[in-house]
C-alpha cells in the first residue's frame, strides 16, 4: 500500500510546528503562564468538540477498555496519563518562555537535540540498546552542545531543560498502551488545564483586553496544537514511528530559519559549528534509516 500521503501528513505537521514562533512572539507582552493557560483552554474546547463530532466512538471504546482493566493496570494507566499531562504542560510552558524571553534560536536547538537526548535517556532509564553508530552520534551531539555552551552559556541550559521535559514525556508514554492515542491526548490536555486552574485561583484571573491576543491564541490552539497533534496520530496509522520520528527535525530547522531570516537573531561561528555538528549527529544516529527503505 502506498504510504506517501502519510509521509506528507507527518511532514506538514512538523512544518506547522516550525512556524510556531510567528504566533508566539507577537504576544510576548503577556506572561508565559497566561499564554499557556489560554492555549490549553482553547485547545481543550476544540478537542472536546472534535471528539463529540468525529471521535465519539473512539472515546466510548477507550472508556469501555479502561473499565475492563484490572485494578493494577487502571492505576498504571492513570499514572502514565497524568504524568504525561504534567510533562507535556511543563514542556509547553518552557517552550513559550524560551521563545518569548530568551530567543527562537535556543528553542530550535532544544528540539534538534531532543531526539538524541531521548534515546540516551531511554538507554539509561529503560535499558534500551544503542548501536555503535548511535553512540558515536551522541558523542558528536555532546561536542556540538559544548560549543553551543561556549558561545551562549546561559542559553544551553534553557535548551536542555526544554529538550529534557519533552524527552521525559516521550519516555513516559512508551509504556502508555492502555488507551487510544487520541483519548490519551484528551486526558493529558485536561490534566494540564486542571493543574493550571489553582494558579489563577491564587493570583486572580487575568483576561487580556487586546482582542488580537485571542486571535493569536485561537491560531495557536488550531494550527500549532490540535491539528498537528491529530496529523501525527493519523500518520502513525500508515507508517512506522521511525518514519514519523525522522521528520521531527523539520520543526527545529524551520524554527532556526525563522529566527535568522524573520526575527534577524544574531549568530556567531561557534553556534554555526554547533548546529552543523548536531546535524551531522542526526545523520549518524539515523544512518540505518537513510540507507534502508521504510517498510
- Asked if the structure places residue 205 within a domain, the reply is yes
Number of domains in the chain: 1
- Asked if the structure places residue 295 within a domain, the reply is no
Residues 132-166, buried b or exposed e (16+ Cβ, 10 A)? eebeebbebbeebbebbbebbeebbebbbebbbbb
Reading the chain (295 residues) residue by residue, the pLDDT tens digits are 467 888 888 889 889 999 999 999 999 998 888 899 999 999 999 999 999 998 899 899 999 999 999 999 999 999 999 999 999 999 999 999 999 999 999 999 998 888 888 888 888 887 878 888 888 988 998 898 888 888 888 888 899 999 999 888 888 877 778 888 889 889 999 999 998 888 777 776 678 888 999 999 999 999 999 898 888 878 877 776 656 667 788 888 899 899 999 999 988 898 889 889 888 888 888 787 666 654 4
Domain that holds residue 85: 4-290
- Asked if the structure places residue 209 within a domain, the reply is yes
- Asked if the structure places residue 194 within a domain, the reply is yes
- Asked if the structure places residue 108 within a domain, the reply is yes
- Asked if the structure places residue 243 within a domain, the reply is yes
Cell 524560551, residue located: 98
CA distance 121 to 177: 20
- Asked if the structure places residue 145 within a domain, the reply is yes
- Asked if the structure places residue 257 within a domain, the reply is yes
Secondary structure of the chain in HEC code, one letter for each residue: CCCHHHHHHHHHHHHHHHCCHHHHHHHCCCCHHHHHHHHHHHHHHHHHHHHHHHCHHHHHHHHHHHHCCCHHHHHHHHHHHHHHHHHHHHHHHHHHHHHHHCCHHHHHHHHHHHHHHHHHHHHHHCCCCCCHHHHHHHHHHHHHHHHHHHHCHHHHHHHHHHHHHHHHHHHHHCCCCCCCHHHHHHHHHHHHHHHHHHHHHHHCCCCCCCHHHHHHHHHHHHHHHHHHHHHHHHHHCCCCHHHHHHHHHHHHHHHHHHHHHCCCCCCCHHHHHHHHHHHHHHHHHCHHHHCCCCC
Amino acid at each position: 500500500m502506498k504510504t506517501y500521503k502519510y509521509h506528507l501528513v507527518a511532514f506538514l505537521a512538523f512544518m506547522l510546528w516550525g512556524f510556531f514562533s510567528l504566533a508566539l512572539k507577537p504576544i510576548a507582552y503577556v506572561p508565559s503562564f497566561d499564554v499557556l493557560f489560554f492555549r490549553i483552554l482553547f485547545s481543550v474546547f476544540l478537542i472536546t468538540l472534535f471528539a463529540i463530532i468525529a471521535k465519539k466512538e473512539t472515546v466510548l471504546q477507550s472508556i469501555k477498555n479502561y473499565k475492563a482493566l484490572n485494578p493494577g493496570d487502571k492505576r498504571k494507566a492513570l499514572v502514565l496519563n497524568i504524568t504525561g499531562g504534567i510533562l507535556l504542560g511543563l514542556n509547553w510552558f518552557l517552550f513559550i518562555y524560551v521563545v518569548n524571553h530568551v530567543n527562537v534560536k535556543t528553542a530550535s536547538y532544544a528540539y534538534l537535540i531532543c531526539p538524541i537526548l531521548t534515546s540516551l535517556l531511554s538507554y539509561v532509564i529503560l535499558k534500551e540498546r544503542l548501536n555503535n553508530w548511535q553512540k558515536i552520534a551522541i558523542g558528536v551531539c555532546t561536542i556540538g552542545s559544548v560549543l553551543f555552551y561556549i558561545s551562549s552559556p546561559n542559553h544551553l541550559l534553557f535548551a536542555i531543560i526544554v529538550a529534557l521535559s519533552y524527552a521525559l514525556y516521550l519516555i513516559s508514554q512508551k509504556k502508555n498502551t492502555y488507551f487510544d492515542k487520541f483519548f490519551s491526548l484528551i486526558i493529558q490536555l485536561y490534566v494540564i488545564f486542571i493543574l493550571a486552574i489553582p494558579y489563577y485561583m491564587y493570583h486572580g484571573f487575568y483576561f487580556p483586553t487586546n482582542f488580537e491576543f485571542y486571535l493569536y491564541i485561537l491560531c495557536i490552539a488550531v494550527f500549532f496544537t490540535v491539528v498537528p497533534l491529530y496529523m501525527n496520530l493519523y500518520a502513525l496509522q500508515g507508517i512506522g514511528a521511525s518514519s514519523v520520528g525522522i521528520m521531527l527535525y523539520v520543526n527545529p530547522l524551520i524554527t532556526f530559519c525563522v529566527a535568522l531570516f524573520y526575527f534577524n537573531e544574531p549568530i556567531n561561528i561557534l553556534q554555526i559549528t554547533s548546529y552543523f555538528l548536531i546535524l551531522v549527529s542526526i545523520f549518524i544516529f539515523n544512518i540505518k534509516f537513510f540507507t534502508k527503505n521504510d517498510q
